[in-house]
Amino acid sequence: MSFLAATHMTCGYGGANIIEDCSITVEKGEIAVVVGPNGAGKSTAMKAVFGMLQLNEGSVVLDGRDITHVPPQDRVPLGMAFVPQTGNVFVSMSVRENLEMGAFIRDDDITPTMEQVYELFPILHEKRNQLAGELSGGQRQQVAVGRALMTQPKLLMLDEPTAGVSPVVMDDLFDRIIEVARTGIAVLMVEQNARQALEIADHGFVLVQGQNRFTDTGKALLANAEVRRSFLGG
Amino acid sequence: MEILNALALLTNFVLIPATAYGAQIALGALGVTLIFGILRFANFSHGEMMSFGAMATILFTWLLQGQGVSIHPLPTALLGLPVGILVAIGVTLTADRVVFRYYRNQRVTPITLAMASIGLMFVLAGLVRFIIGPEHQNIADGERFLISAFEFRNMTGLDEGIAIRQTQVITFVIALIAVVALFWFLQKTRAGKAMRAYSDNEDLALLSGINPDRVVKIAWIITGALAATAATLYSLDKVYQPFIFLQMLLPIFAATILGGIGQPVGAVIGAFVVAYSEVMVTYAFRRFVGYLGPNDWVPDSMIQLMSTNYKFAVSFIILVVVLLVRPTGIIRGKVIER
């Protein structure tokens, strides 16, 4: 059994199902990437895994525990952290306060974790007293990931972390995500920049119209001629 | 000497009363802005929540006075205030439990909550009149002046006196303590930061494990305490009248919107702008100008921009101008959405 096993998920908004019989799995210390064309249900699948959408069918199992019916805020203490695509920082609060809020559920000393986050994102230490709303797009994403890491999650979920940042910042952000995974955290990520994301992915899930089309290692998917032709532009 | 007399005159009739009034509005506006920041609706019942708190203070003060308890030279109402605060908190928490929580769980639009608060406003107003009656109640029983105009004139030899009433000083000191305590709470404590986070980004606050029910509860507790304090100070400084709290909604909302909705610092700034504008626009500058003009010359007219009867028009004008020119307020706040 995988560390996170979201299997046979079927759900959507209102009556229509956006994703059908969709399965996503992640192992500890690995990066799993969900890619696919626009409207394939990538973000919906992400929301389903985090419990923000009720599943009509299927189940979500984290570390051997069935959490299908656990509401999203109760999944945070279980070790899941979610970085939404937009609105993922507290704009009116300082970088430091953003990190403190990330650790809200913890009662122990959070300074070591904060040091680790500063080590991973040195720019955040430099700007720790600045309001998150005053930072650039790339720096905000770092705050967002940093905030999520403050809960000391076992599974980090990122919804298009590189949306709207420059290619240089994107490469940098991917490097940091690899570092995060090396500490033993399972990373699940939805990405628009499919090629670059698959390059760092241990496992890739290609979704089309809400269903799994291809599932393989990142390398194999990049080498797959059909995947390249259909989704990676040749 | 003439200039000093002019300044003394202005201090006595504009600066000091407006500062006390501004402090009272600030405490009211802080409650409104806090509820808007957390629950995202305009709480029109805030004025009556204030009234209810002041009423409780007065009833308990009467009880104390009946027992012969006194803290002369301070007014007895200061002893009654903690009870008023507790009762007001009871009112806000009950109102949330009975009215607002239901609509919140229905995930209604902000305007529905605002309408519900108007209903609550009438209910509370009715209860207040039922319990204490519609007449005005004077509760200031302490020493009246810290410095009287007569003493001031003797001390300085000026023609104009500056009278500082004790209630004005009490108002300012208590408001200052309340505002400092509130800002310390919001900036430094865990619960305070959680409130700011929730106000900033509700969804992300949930993702961070912040308990919304707790945040809402704390917001109502603070609002109740501020409301009772504001209304008690106003009643001490002037007089307690149940109908006045409906009228006070206007300057309070003007201050809230002028400062930027959901912004506590803005609410305080807005309150003083509204208070100073209101007092200055309705003050007759005739004698002030007379002191500055040539010897023994006094203008014929009152040099008063607006009759005091129209003082609420000032708040209304500020409100309209802000909404037209800068709807986000001085400190960029939320914009009321339908």
Mean pLDDT by 10 residues, chain B (338 residues): 86 93 96 94 96 97 92 91 98 97 92 96 97 92 85 86 91 95 95 94 90 94 97 94 94 95 92 95 86 80 83 90 89 66
**pTM of the predicted model, to two decimals?**
0.89
Structure tokens at A57: 């069918």
In single-letter form, the type of residue at position B104 comes to: R
Residue B338 is predicted with a pLDDT of 45
d(CA B263, CA B287): 39
Verify whether the Cβ–Cβ distance A87 to B203 is below 8 Å.
yes
Contacts by residues B286-293 (CB-CB < 8 Å, ≥ 24 positions apart):
B287/B9, B288/B6, B288/B9, B288/B10, B291/B2, B291/B3, B291/B5, B291/B6, B291/B9, B292/B2, B292/B3, B292/B6
Residue the block writes with tokens 């609410």: B267
Pairs of residues, one from chain A and one from chain B, whose beta carbons lie less than 8 Å apart: 59
Using CB atoms, which residue from A84, A87, A97 is nearest to B193?
A: A97
Determine the residue of chain A that is closest to B331 in CA distance.
A92
Verify whether the Cβ–Cβ distance B208 to A76 is below 8 Å.
yes
Q: Which of A98-102, A128-132, B143-147, B279-283 has the lowest mean pLDDT?
A: B143-147
Q: Where are the beta strands (DSSP E) in chain B?
A: 145-147, 164-165
Using CB atoms, which residue from A88, A91, A104 is nearest to B209?
A: A104
Kindly report the nearest CA distance between residue B213 and chain A, in angstroms.
13
Structure tokens at B331: 């400190």
Q: Which of A60, A1, A3 is nearest to A181 (CA)?
A: A3
How far from B239 is each of B3, B51, B141, B224, CA to CA, in Å?
33, 12, 12, 20
Largest CA distance in chain A: 51
Verify whether the Cβ–Cβ distance A82 to B197 is below 8 Å.
no
In chain A, what residues touch B198 (CB-CB under 8 Å)? Answer: none
Q: Which of A25, A146, A152, A162 is nearest to A80 (CA)?
A: A152
Residue A234 is predicted with a pLDDT of 60
Containing A22, the helix (H) or strand (E) segment is: strand A19-26
Banded pLDDT at A229 (limits 50, 70, 90)? confident
Residues of A with CB under 8 A from a CB of B: 72-73, 76-77, 81-82, 84, 87-93, 97, 100-102, 104-105, 147, 151
Verify whether the Cβ–Cβ distance A93 to B200 is below 8 Å.
yes
Q: Are A145 and A83 in contact (CB under 8 A)?
A: yes
Average pLDDT over every residue of A187-213: 91
Structure tokens at B111: 């305007």
C-alpha triplet B124, B125, B131: angle, nearest 5°: 85
Cα dihedral B182/B178/B250/B16 (nearest 10): -140
Question: How many C-beta atoms lie closer than 10 Å to residue A143's C-beta?
Answer: 30
In chain B, what residues touch A100 (CB-CB under 8 Å)? Answer: 193
Give the rounded distance of the alpha carbon of B62 from its chain centre.
23
Q: Which of B316, B132, B120 is nearest to B241 (CA)?
A: B132
Verify whether the Cβ–Cβ distance B204 to A84 is below 8 Å.
yes
Q: Are A222 and A191 in contact (CB under 8 A)?
A: no
- In chain A, pLDDT over 70 holds for what percent of residues? 99
d(CA B83, CA B67): 16
In chain A, what residues touch B208 (CB-CB under 8 Å)? Answer: 76, 101-102, 104-105, 147, 151
Verify whether the Cβ–Cβ distance B200 to A76 is below 8 Å.
no
For residue A187, the cross-strand partners are A31, A156
Average pLDDT over every residue of A211-221: 89
Residue B300 is predicted with a pLDDT of 80
d(CA A101, CA B194): 7
Q: Are A167 and A142 in contact (CB under 8 A)?
A: no
Mean pLDDT of chain A: 91
Preferred mutation among B207, B210, B214, B334 to probe A, highest tally of A CBs within 10 A: B207
d(CA A123, CA A119): 9
Verify whether the Cβ–Cβ distance A101 to B193 is below 8 Å.
yes
